[in-house]
Amino acid sequence: MPQPRDVVEIIESHLATIPPGSETEIGFFGGNFTGIEPEEQQSYLEIAEKYVKAGKVKSVRLSTRPDYIDNERLALLRRFTVTTIELGAQSLDDEVLRLSGRGHTAGDVVKASKLIREQGFSLGLQMMVGLPGDTPEKSIATARRIIELGASCTRIYPTLVIRDTQLEKWYLSGKYIPLTLDEAVETTALLAGIFEEAGVKILRIGLHPSEGLLGGESLVAGPFHAAFGELVATAQWLKVFRLKLADMPSGKQQNLVVEVAPGQINAAVGHKAANKQMLLAGFNHVTFRVNPELSGRQCNLITNGA
């Protein structure tokens, strides 16, 4: 955990890379912020507040455990420019939480979420797929419950087996079987669609490809991929294309033009052009172009003779 004096150096080094006028926040992540001593919390927040008052950053956000939220802790955060509190809910199924040894219940998530929103903070709820005892149906139920609790944002992570953990012991003994990459992508794509339809902003999909994971030093097993988010977006677009193709004729004598919304071409083409290759199986030539009148995953498929 960085010391307060280290925080200044971290903030300054990051601000130096951000163009002036950008909307910037300071985030305290990687631990349970409200679980540390109040004096330590205050020392961090006082540093962050100076940057807010100077106009260099807009606000502060943090992450913590659902069972580390109460009125006293929130009263401290209200003294500073903390706008968003993200909870590591991981699941809202009590059996999954118990089997995973999370140490909190679904009721703790509900109670903490209610307090956070009542006291004027924006709520973020993070979830995981593939935990012990989890199923796609349970993950979908968790996503719907996150929406019901009023979360404005979420993060979706696949469960990985990390070295020197209880989960590694369960994996090596056969007690725990991680999701395959395809299973994790398929389930996460479903969840992403549910959140997008409800207007819940997805801040991140998949773990950051840190050196330990990429090098295999800490990763034992599980659906890790450095471009996991891209794979999920590819799967979402693949579903769109298959639905569209079901209602139109294809043939190698036809060319296909795919119109997508601004900013969507890379995702539509797919990771390593997977979606384009799928379309080329049915058409002579496939071209992607932007149509500024489209939004989200709206698209037009236009065919013409070769």
Residues 133 and 260 in one domain: no
Residues 139 and 285 in one domain: no
Question: Does residue 237 form part of some domain?
Answer: no
Residues 146 and 263 in one domain: no
CA distance 206 to 224: 8
Residues 209 and 125 in one domain: yes
Question: Does residue 232 form part of some domain?
Answer: no
DSSP assignment of 145-181: HHHHTT-SEEEEEE--EETTSHHHHHHHTTS--PPPH
CA distance 134 to 98: 11
Here the tokens at position 172 are 């090596």
Residues 140 and 284 in one domain: no
All residue ranges of the chain with pLDDT < 70 are 210-212, 214-216, 250-251, 305-306
User: DSSP H helical segments within the chain, as ranges?
Assistant: 4-15, 38-53, 71-78, 94-99, 106-118, 136-148, 166-172, 181-198, 211-214, 228-245, 265-269, 274-280
CA distance 154 to 129: 13
The boundaries of the domain holding residue 142 are 4-226
Q: For residue 87, give the H/E element and its range.
A: strand 82-90
CA distance 74 to 117: 11
Residue 14 belongs to domain with CATH number? 3.20.20.70
Q: What's the structural domain count of the chain?
A: 2
State the pLDDT at residue 305: 61
Question: Does residue 257 form part of some domain?
Answer: yes
Cβ proximity of 230 and 272 under 8 Å: no
Q: 92: which residues sit within 8 A by CB, 6+ positions away?
A: 106, 109, 110, 141, 142, 145, 146
**Across the strands, what pairs with 84?**
61, 122
Residues 173 and 260 in one domain: no
Question: Does residue 266 form part of some domain?
Answer: yes
Report the predicted TM-score, pTM, of the whole model to 2 decimal places.
Answer: 0.91
CA distance 179 to 185: 9
CA distance 74 to 82: 10
Q: Give the end of a domain, one of 226, 256, 275.
A: 226
Question: Does residue 51 form part of some domain?
Answer: yes
pLDDT tens digits for 197-231? 999 999 999 987 765 676 667 899 999 999 999 99
Q: 203: which residues sit within 8 A by CB, 6+ positions away?
A: 124, 153, 154, 155
**Across the strands, what pairs with 305?**
254
Residues 158 and 58 in one domain: yes
Q: For residue 303, give the H/E element and its range.
A: strand 299-305
Residues 9 and 155 in one domain: yes
**Across the strands, what pairs with 82?**
60
State the pLDDT at residue 212: 63
CA distance 306 to 304: 7
How far separated are the first and last CA of the chain, in Å rounded?
62
pLDDT tens digits for 70-124? 999 999 999 999 999 999 999 999 999 999 999 999 999 999 999 999 999 999 9
Q: 130: which residues sit within 8 A by CB, 6+ positions away?
A: 158, 159, 178, 179, 183, 184, 187, 222, 223
Question: Does residue 231 form part of some domain?
Answer: no
Q: How far is CA 1 from CA 28, 83, 106, 148, 218, in A?
A: 11, 22, 28, 34, 19
Single-letter amino acid code for the residue at 245: L
In 3D, which of 153, 156, 2 has the Cα closest to residue 83? 153
